[in-house]
Copies of this chain bind each other. A is one copy, B any other.
């Protein structure tokens, strides 16, 4: 006789499309349909219990009514999709077994039937590495930092490297990789606490609070009297302009994010675009999804660095699915420190 295990399934849904930056009330906790804790025969899917959910700035783009981007928008009234770490409860896919841990795209809910199992990665459990790191240091933000720094920035030992949003999920790793590469590294962030962490925990050479600077161009000139070889840009807008003014000849700008901008068509004003010619600057936008072939090497390198104590990783962990809307909104007000993760359940 089959036991028909059924669970209620709390979810976070998007209420309606967002203009500008999301706030907590753009999302709400709902009780979804009761869900059978099984992967239906023939579905080739896996039924997972979600343990950790990832709050990532790129998700803002999916909350806006814009259908021509690299990833489609969410559907208002429906559960939010994002990266997570989950445990397999039942599987109709021979590649996954009950009890295994996986990471990949799942939903912001307690239990999810994942049908696109091809994008899941099985986690090799390792007591030395927190499971949640698989949506951070060893997940999408990690490969973003890794590919962005090594492949897009073309770094050389001794380069002068500037990282904005430097305590964030991506920035904190970029700066540490740059230090390991023999670069001089300065980071910026928006609170004195973050500045302290960037210098003392993450080991950057210098850090500053951009909110305390009336003139970003002058601030960068102070921290980089010799100029900047590499700017790893997470914020866009006036910070990018200030960096252009301070780049060295043949400098490289890797454009990873524009968290300072409320929407993808916000006007951004530049006074130093001419520097692109006079200093032969390369500005290169990138997405980690173009670098999937690097994943095995990335995992090996970063796991090694972490276990050898060469890098650390700062997380901002919130407990409970119900905390997700506020935690997500905090990405854009700068309230959280480090990689923002939601712990939905214990293993």
Contacts and interface: CB of A to CB of B under 8 A. Distances in A.
What is the interface of chain A mostly: helix, strand, loop, or mixed?
loop
A281 B282 CA distance: 10
Contacts of A273: 236, 240, 258, 268
A268 B269 contact: yes
Interface in A255-293: 255-258, 261, 264-287, 290
A321 B343 CA distance: 77
B290 A285 contact: no
A285 B267 CA distance: 22
B270 A280 contact: no
A337 to B, nearest CB: 24
A69 interface: yes
Interface residues on A, range: 35 or more
Given A268-B269, A269-B267, A269-B269, A279 B285 contact: yes
Interface string A168-194: 000000000000000000000000000
B280 A276 contact: no
A280 B274 contact: no
B264 A278 contact: yes
B267 A271 contact: yes
A299 to B, nearest CB: 23
Interface hub of A265, A278, A279, A284 (most chain B Cβ within 10 A):
A278
A268 to B, nearest CB: 5
A287 B282 CA distance: 12
Contacts of A290: 280
Given A265-B272, A270-B267, A257 B236 contact: no
A258 B271 CA distance: 13
Given A270-B267, A274-B261, A282 B280 contact: no
B284 A282 contact: yes
Nearest to A253: B283
Contacts of A278: 61, 69-70, 264, 285, 287
Given A269-B269, A280-B290, A290-B280, A258 B274 contact: yes
Contact of A283 (B265, B268, B282, B287): B282
A265 B273 CA distance: 8
A282 B286 CA distance: 9
A238 to B, nearest CB: 11
Nearest to A263: B274
Pairs of residues from A and B, 7 with the lowest C-beta to C-beta distance, nearest first: A276-B285, A277-B285, A264-B274, A283-B283, A282-B284, A265-B271, A268-B273
30 contacts: A70-B249, A70-B278, A70-B279, A240-B273, A255-B276, A256-B277, A257-B277, A258-B274, A258-B277, A266-B271, A267-B270, A267-B271, A268-B270, A269-B270, A270-B270, A275-B285, A276-B284, A276-B285, A277-B285, A277-B286, A277-B287, A278-B285, A278-B287, A279-B285, A280-B286, A280-B290, A281-B284, A282-B283, A282-B284, A283-B283
